Amino acid sequence: VLIVPPEAAGERLDRFLAGRLGSRAAAERAIEGGALVDGIARAKSHRLAGGEDVSVPDLPAATPGPPPAAPPIVHEDEHLLVVDKPAGLVVHPGAGHAGDTLVDALRGQIAGGDPERPGIVHRLDRDTSGLLVVARSDEAFERLSDLVRERALERRYLALVHGRPRSRSG
Please report the DSSP string for 63-93 in residue order.
---PPPPPPPEEEE-SSEEEEEEPTT-BSS-
For residues 114-141, one letter each, b for 16 or more C-beta atoms within 10 angstroms of the residue's C-beta and e for the rest, the string is eeebbbbbeebeeebeeebbbbbeeebb
C-alpha distances in angstroms, 4 versus 29, 53, 55?
Answer: 19, 6, 11
End-to-end CA distance of the chain: 41
125 is catalytic: yes
Could you give the strand order of the β-sheet that contains 130-135, starting from the edge strand earlier in sequence? 73-76, 80-85, 130-135
- Mind spelling out the 3-state secondary structure of 98-112? CCCEHHHHCCCCCCC
Report the distance separating Cα 17 and Cα 60, nearest Å: 13
Q: Which of 38, 84, 125, 138 is catalytic?
A: 125
Cite the active site residues: 125
